[in-house]
Structure 1
């Protein structure tokens, strides 16, 4: 008789994100039980993570799997229904786990914020995942659930037709002690992602063979620095993966459900001009140094120096993480009336605006782990509400018709409508 599969298995559980995912799995399992385990290269380190972050679950399975050992990855994948992959940078370590999951009939979720990795996986494995009945879903964390599902939330609540959405990300801390805010793994992913950014053009030409319809009025990007009444401070373009992930969702919903795609621009807001100038200087140096091998090596060797203390191998201080808050404000503009076809053109000016917000605490390693575990559980429990019986999808495409947003609302990630005005 075949051994029963675990519901979830956290791969890379001894890493920085992995251990907080273990902590969140233990919390969520108390109120809504599911079977789960941890996986990685070193049994002793995995046991230590369980003792520290999930002491009530010391008897859970510990699986040894190595990213360099394909057989061990397949064996791991066959032991569970969903692999939660916390082993990054995904550009280097993600594909082997995706292949093992598809070959084993096992779903896969991760917290990648790497557009090239995510889009390459979709291009290479979407058909294979559909044939296997497997969902492969990346960006199931702070990149990019708030933005991607926030737009889905706005589209569901708008009661009309959205033409465009602008998002504004804010983050602040009430902790007085100076601490790193980013773990080294995220820094490493960003370095390689920016260096290979030029490769995205050819990739997207293949991934999106049919262009989205030209929508009017066209959403124009704002200036490099601007102010907006819905987000207090100085706002600049947000260079994370939110926009690329949300585009994939809007493209999918247009192609499959004939929903008018929302145009999107993403921004982040800084409270002071000093913060803006500091971040701009760090970003300029970072961007220039990623263009050459020597620069990349220096960035990887001295992350704390080149980030002015924002990045470290140890990651953020736990107390500081718990006192860090985030909000993503979405300004959705469109019409109160919905036309029959998504390509139909409105003859009247836009006459409705809705402001929505997604907010929570500890975005990088608290809320992210909540989103990740609940995404995995949603795949496990609500696959009948998800599209195409499988595939490599963005969160918005995968979870638009599920209860994921409601579940997050019940777990300290709040989706809300702030205002809705008809002109």
Structure 2
């Protein structure tokens, strides 16, 4: 890829998330020595996003190159991909728009990173394109945003903490804190979730092809949690987290077992934590309504036509204001169980060590996601020789284990800290 004109091209730069990726790249480009361009369907929108990013960042961006590319034109996608080492694909929902970009990148020799939280898309790309990506020496790394770099980072951190011993179980607890102006989540995230839920059955068949060999049994499972429960670990009411984290971490664990990074299967259970029982009950009601309506065409139409009503106020079109974004942070608390040594793992019946780490980061969708995505891209650009995998369709945990990603994230306000490390 030495002859490529640019290190990075941001595809979908004028989208709601894409513009924040532009900001982060603009702020980092000089420090990291990056050459970059923006890409999208129309020049006026690209000019506008560069002009607005110049105001937000204080950087002169009027001379940043623009590339016209459209998911409905494979030739335009290939022209874009031929010019760059890495494509940052910010165009979703990926179920509808992702595959042509992946294919164009593989055919044109450009690495592809996306911020999808759609398990069907992520696992389908692995099934369809892993072999070809390896043949063409291309990395296709999905879920490099809030879905699911924070989850992967927490598990990677715990793996490092249990080095010399054995990690067996991880629980994660997501908590989102909004400022006085409240918060909101981008409509595209809600739209993607609606289509993913409505086609959840596809995953069963797909995983039979992807995972022909069954995973080893988890040696020591944690007691099963109720659907809604109070967590002593985070002192909040919790529900299962319905995002892609479990799917992504499971694929990472499979990769690590195959490559010898892990000696045993690891149980991973993600949860969403709420400040009160009322908030948890309200969100539980939303999940019931959402899941039921997703199964029917008319239900999906209602969900997408009137998101604020049918999501009980959690989602709306247009996304949050800048003031709401600035006032939001999130934490993920990871509770890791395991053994303090290989000897203990072979002689004791139950884990004898518990480590709790916490990840703290800014607003997940528009601040943390660009940070995660761009730092993943920097690792691909600067540490290719030391990465365990040189090509293929991968999860973040499979691609970036053993790299400087955790240190890079910490430098850019996505921080991990150890809360406790005790024998039990």
TM-score range (shorter-chain normalised) is: over 0.9
Q: CA RMSD in A?
A: 1.6
Q: State how far apart, in whole Å, the 2-side matches of 1:345 and 1:197 are.
A: 38
Aligned to 1:169: 174
- Kindly report which structure 2 residues correspond to 1:297-336, keeping only aligned pairs within 5 A, or say none: 297-336=301-340
Q: State how far apart, in whole Å, the 2-side matches of 1:258 and 1:310 are.
A: 39
Aligned to 1:202: 205
Kept in 2, the 8 Å contact 1:386–1:402? The answer is yes
> 2:290 is matched with which residue: 286, 291, 299?
286
> What are the ranges of 5 or more consecutive residues in structure 1 without an aligned counterpart?
none
1:314-363 Cα offsets, whole Å, 9 max, x none, are 111111111111110011011101259xxx85444311110011111111
1:140-195 Cα offsets, whole Å, 9 max, x none, are 01111111121011111223211100111111112x2245x111111110000000
Q: State how far apart, in whole Å, the 2-side matches of 1:249 and 1:345 are.
A: 24
Aligned to 2:88: 84
Kept in 1, the 8 Å contact 2:181–2:327? The answer is no
Q: State how far apart, in whole Å, the 1-side matches of 2:369 and 2:203 are.
A: 25
1:292-324 Cα offsets, whole Å, 9 max, x none, are 101111111111221233222211111111111
So what's the TM-score if we normalise by structure 1?
Answer: 0.95
Kept in 1, the 8 Å contact 2:4–2:82? The answer is no
Aligned to 2:44: 44
1:362 aligns with 2:363: yes
- Kindly report which structure 2 residues correspond to 1:34-73, keeping only aligned pairs within 5 A, or say none: 34-54=34-54, 55-73=59-77
1:360-406 Cα offsets, whole Å, 9 max, x none, are 11111101100001111111111122234200000000000110110
Q: State how far apart, in whole Å, the 2-side matches of 1:328 and 1:165 are.
A: 12
After TM superposition, the runs of 4+ consecutive aligned structure 1 residues lying more than 4 A away are: none
Q: Which moved more, 1:309-318 or 1:89-98?
A: 309-318
So what's the TM-score if we normalise by structure 2?
Answer: 0.95
Q: State how far apart, in whole Å, the 2-side matches of 1:349 and 1:310 are.
A: 40
> 2:100 is matched with which residue: 62, 82, 96?
96
1:28-52 Cα offsets, whole Å, 9 max, x none, are 2242220111000011011100000
Aligned length: 417
Kept in 1, the 8 Å contact 2:78–2:107? The answer is yes
Aligned to 1:401: 402
Q: State how far apart, in whole Å, the 2-side matches of 1:383 and 1:3 are.
A: 16
Kept in 2, the 8 Å contact 1:170–1:326? The answer is yes
1:353 aligns with 2:354: yes
- Kindly report which structure 2 residues correspond to 1:125-136, keeping only aligned pairs within 5 A, or say none: 125-136=129-140
Q: State how far apart, in whole Å, the 2-side matches of 1:248 and 1:99 are.
A: 21
1:3 to partner: Cα distance: 6.6
Q: State how far apart, in whole Å, the 1-side matches of 2:21 and 2:378 are.
A: 13
Q: State how far apart, in whole Å, the 1-side matches of 2:11 and 2:351 are.
A: 47
1:258 to partner: Cα distance: 4.8
Kept in 1, the 8 Å contact 2:388–2:401? The answer is no
Aligned to 1:418: 419
